[in-house]
Structure 1
Amino acid sequence: MSDRGGGSTQADGTYILGTGVLADEFLALLRHAGTPVAGFVENLDRGRTRTHASGLPIIWVDDLPAGAQCLCALSTTHRIRFIDQVRSRASFPTFVHPSSVVLPFGTIGPGTLVSTGVLVASHVTLGSHVFVNRGARIGHHTRIGDYVTLQPGVNVAGEVQVGSRAYIGLGAIVRERLTIGEGAIVAAGALVTHDVPAHSMVAGSPARVKRRDVEPK
């Protein structure tokens, strides 16, 4: 794991922002890769600050050490809010699981996590605080915006533009040279053959707009 968000490496490891099931998954990924984890951070209910089932501490957000390295294990909207809450005193490393392949000539932004078995082709840009779930495929010269979520088995072809805060569901396929608009939602299993407007939800094969004025949760 590299710290591309600035700041010094913490001797006691990375803090995971969030305490839900996705936080458990992040812990498993980091430990499997041999990356030290310092604990979890809670920002909604101080009563949840206790010892996690793993034996690691759950600390209140105000007690996060200055300069702590953090990865955020929350859905899109909560991810943005939590990161904004700690941004002034935290740094954000990137994490790519060693079972994944990231080819050269691309960039990965701070706070981005790439899970197991992912293939990222050459000249790909992954923005900040992106979550690429297991087994996803991202084609060459594709640009993935900040806070995007790609769920397991997603296959994004080459030269695709994915706007910030977009969500692409389980097993969806996006054809080459398309644009997925900011805040758009692509339903699980969709086959996307046309551009997806911002803040719309598409589903089906081929994908069609089902709702407008949506926001990823």
Structure 2
Amino acid sequence: MQDIIIIGASDTFDLVWASYAKDKSRIIGYLGLSQSQHSVFPDYPYLGESVSQACADHPDAAFVVSVYNNQTRRRLSEEVQAAGAVLLSPRHPDCTIYPTAMLEEGVLVAPQAVISTRANVGQGVYVNYGALVGHDVRVGDFSFISPGTRVLGEASIGSGVLLGTNVVVLAKVSIGDNAEIGANMVVAKDIPANATVLPQQKTRTLGV
């Protein structure tokens, strides 16, 4: 039986439970990032805010980082790894992952998501409800693919990218690191790193 600790209070609890129920794994508690989160899940014990302390107190536990912010998810994942603990990759039983797809450590795959042939999904990526990662797509570390988003064949998504709800990234399009794409957009041309693209607006490059 695998003991699991979740970092962050979110709906990922249901995803984790469904992903590991057949293995008789159990959630033994969660780490909250703020005082307001302490009572979010009253059926599970709150284990504090310190990743290193949780690793020391529960040396046999594995961890799931269920934080939506890409930078925070990266930092917490690195803390888990630095402590020598296992970082899990929850995959809901209602998702579809093709055998030739490659997923790195800490990838979360939600219900009805599809990761297609020869796709390469980097560490700590969140593939949300009903999202599609098409064939030969590359997704960089700690990116977030929102519900209903479709990344079509051979597209390239950098690290730390945020794709909003129902975004469509057309085939062979490249999106640079840390770019943010607003909801319901169709991305038909390459987007540079650190750009924010919103509906009815021109591309705005951050830091310039």
Once the two structures are TM-superposed, the CA of residue 143 in structure 1 deviates from its matched residue by 0.6
Secondary structure of 1:95's match?
coil
Once the two structures are TM-superposed, the CA of residue 119 in structure 1 deviates from its matched residue by 1.2
Contact kept, 8 Å, 2:80 with 2:87, in 1: the verdict is no
Query: TM-score, normalization: structure 2?
Result: 0.86
Instruction: Confirm or deny that 1:126 pairs with 2:121.
Output: yes
Residues 147-206 of structure 1, C-alpha deviation per residue, up to 9 Å, x if partnerless? Answer: 01000000110001110000100000000001110000011011100001000011337x
Unpaired segments of 5 or more residues in structure 1?
Answer: 1-10
Query: C-alpha separation between the residues in 1 aligned to 2:169 and 2:42?
Result: 38
Query: TM-score, normalization: structure 1?
Result: 0.83
* Corresponding residue to 1:30 among 16, 21, 27: 16
Query: C-alpha separation between the residues in 2 aligned to 1:78 and 1:212?
Result: 21
Once the two structures are TM-superposed, the CA of residue 12 in structure 1 deviates from its matched residue by 4.7
Partner of 2:205: 212
The 5 Å alignment of 1:111-190 reads: 111-190=106-185
Partner of 2:75: 81
Amino acid at match of 1:148: S
Query: C-alpha separation between the residues in 1 aligned to 2:54 and 2:36?
Result: 14
Amino acid at match of 2:14: A
Residues 74-121 of structure 1, C-alpha deviation per residue, up to 9 Å, x if partnerless? Answer: 111211222223322221121211111111212111111000101111
Structure 1 stretches of 4+ with a deviation exceeding 4 A read 47-52
Partner of 1:7: none
In structure 2, the CA distance between the partners of 1:13 and 1:190, relative to structure 1 (3 Å rule), is: same
* Corresponding residue to 2:44 among 56, 62, 66: 56
Cα RMSD for the two superposed structures: 2.1
Query: C-alpha separation between the residues in 2 aligned to 1:137 and 1:49?
Result: 31
Query: C-alpha separation between the residues in 2 aligned to 1:15 and 1:104?
Result: 28
Once the two structures are TM-superposed, the CA of residue 15 in structure 1 deviates from its matched residue by 1.2
Once the two structures are TM-superposed, the CA of residue 49 in structure 1 deviates from its matched residue by 8.5
The 5 Å alignment of 1:193-208 reads: 193-204=188-199, 208=202
Contact kept, 8 Å, 1:51 with 1:57, in 2: the verdict is no
Give the fraction of aligned pairs with identical amino acids, expressed as a percent: 24
Amino acid at match of 1:39: G
Contact kept, 8 Å, 2:158 with 2:178, in 1: the verdict is yes
Secondary structure of 1:59's match?
coil
Contact kept, 8 Å, 1:191 with 1:204, in 2: the verdict is no
Once the two structures are TM-superposed, the CA of residue 50 in structure 1 deviates from its matched residue by 5.4
Residues 6-56 of structure 1, C-alpha deviation per residue, up to 9 Å, x if partnerless? Answer: xxxxx352211112xxx2x111112234253221113x45x5695653411
